[in-house]
Structure 1
Amino acid sequence: MSPPPPAPAPASFPPTSGSRAVSISSESSGSSENLPSSPNQSAGKNDNVQSPIRVEWDRWPDGHFERDFSWQEFHASGELAVNWACEPLGGSKRGSDTAAEWPNGKRTGRRCRGIIRCTNTVCSIIVRPQTRMKGIQKQLIEFCRCGGKLVHVDCGIVSYLYSFAEGFTRIVEDHPTVGPLSLLVGRPGLHGPEASVAEISSVLFNKDRIKSERRAVKHRGNLPTSEVAEFAQFEKDFPGFVIFSQFGAVRVIVMQTPFMVSQLVKNHVILRDAVNGIVSDGAHGYFMERTALLLMSSSYCVDLDCWVPGIMSYANGATQEPFFLHFISLFESMAQYAEKQGKKLTDVAFKNVRLLSLLFHC
């Protein structure tokens, strides 16, 4: 028998672009002392991965290393199959396989169970252990074929695999005009539809999830059809809905319909309840952007018997300027509506709003 090949040295490779990647990190939680070197890889008929994609992957991994694989390489390697007996540890509840970076990806783990060997010094028999300790204990009850006692040499190495969605990001960046449905069924290609993005992650079987992730990718990047183009399309689809917009370090989009502004200017006082005036608030967490706010000023509608929005604003932060622009747009829209209706508008109509706006700045 030819001597076994040397164990691979610890390696660190740059991330492979173009698809979802898997990063392996091995940590030692036990001793690997007295474990034999990696067996000759030609011993197993399935050791050589037959795939049109060439991938360097030793099915007898040994030592501490980190490495990134593309999604195609991951499949070509048999999903990073190993010949060691390993116990699956399941996945962490934290992380997502649609994350942009591997530390936030979905983590799964497996623990190497080492080998079972004979205590007879002249016996070279090595037994593959079961993956569960209960099964290993049953194996140790038996004797070696030479009559010697069997002992378990635990490896203790735990390997972690992080799945993340760089592949989806690259697809969106390379095909910014392809919509969610085409990404799901397969975007058009020279030789027919390309692979569905659902092959990257099972969560991408949902068209609405694809739409959400696609929007997040385009927001992070500087794509030619990202924010500005989407905003232009939004204005085209809903003409007159956006009454003010500002892009730059401070981004603000103010939205209002004729019905909304009509509820802000009233000629009567509601006596039965304390529902006169305008109530304003800012909601965190409404938009996917962590720092973004939804600002809304509402008034009470007698006909609907409920509070209705009078004006809404998107703001990319909670600094003073977005609030200033929101309330200036509110005041101006009320003044313009009152003038068109021939109504006299005094400072009393703004009183509650003005006081509340001061609270925002305190």
Structure 2
Amino acid sequence: MRLDDLNALQATTIRGDLGPYDCQIADGLGTEGDVIAVRVTDPGGITALVDHREQQHPVKAGTVLLGVLANRDSTTHASGHIPQAGLPIIGGTPLAWLGGQSGLIGTLDWSPAPDNQLGQQAAGRVEAIGLVHTQFGVLNIAQLSRTPTTETDPHTRLLVVAGTAAEVGKTTLASRIIRHLTATKLRVVAVKPTGSGGITDSLAHRAAGAVAAYDLVDCGLPSSYTDPGRYARHIRQCLAYAAQHRPDVVLVELGGDLLWGNNDVFLRQPGLREQVTDVLCVCADATGALGVDAFLRQRALQDLPVTYTPTYTRNPATFTSRLQQLLGPATAVLDSTTDDALTTYLRVLTAVSATANERT
């Protein structure tokens, strides 16, 4: 069967024109990152798909889409995986649509009820039509990533936004920071190197004023819930993509919770620590902040500069007092994310990092 005969929606995790590949649909052994054609049998909690042109399409039973085999290890939404030995795919194989708008497909580990009131993304159910093949074999999204045209600039300042959990407000805060930085005429590029592949956060970054936004999908990874070695080999391209735009600041938003999804592998990339101006960590509570401190020490990342800030639903005064008593009075805490507080924080941060760059 030819791919052109399917008239399928192409998920945003497949970032390329497949026309030149003369793709066929056939059975095979699927592995992480492989492109697969599926038919929706029950959309479950999924109502829309974002395609490779950043357009949103409604989905229902019978919708045909091109997705990507992937692991998803969310702590709040549906989760599932692809076996390391691969997944035999034949027409009719039942699978789960794990990744909501991004079209991640795998075997289901857990899903909330589709009608839950907690905002949790429930999985949908699909059946395989077949894997997408080219003349070279099964198509993997790693084949669609491009070689950066610019080397990583070791002098570019990186401001990292992280969190102790999903849904603590990282993207909202990152977008506000981008607006503040661009208001001072700084060129900002946003990078989302970890999490479950999609484009929603990158769209928010661009809407906030980033001159460009890149994520792990641009590097050929459907999610960062993968083997650390595989992740490290691919993700090195992300900051090089950003360097092409000669940014003053690269805003890095880490997906999920800081403890998982190869976030620590990203932070251990060669030369990266020297570029990090700060890690602004959004915490659900003081206990989460203590966990971050212990984790960074465990992974030999304790020399990273870290500023803790509570999520907007927490009392900033008690968060600050508890944290500074437990971790020491010198612990950096941003106890307010009002516009005035962010302006002051960023002014000091960019001034300090600019001075450091001049010295180098």
Under a length normalisation based on structure 1, what TM-score does the superposition of the two structures give? Answer: 0.21
Higher Cα radius of gyration: 1
- Structure holding more strand per residue: 2
Relative contact order: is structure 1 or structure 2 higher (C-alpha 8 Å, sep ≥ 6)? 2
Under a length normalisation based on structure 2, what TM-score does the superposition of the two structures give? Answer: 0.22
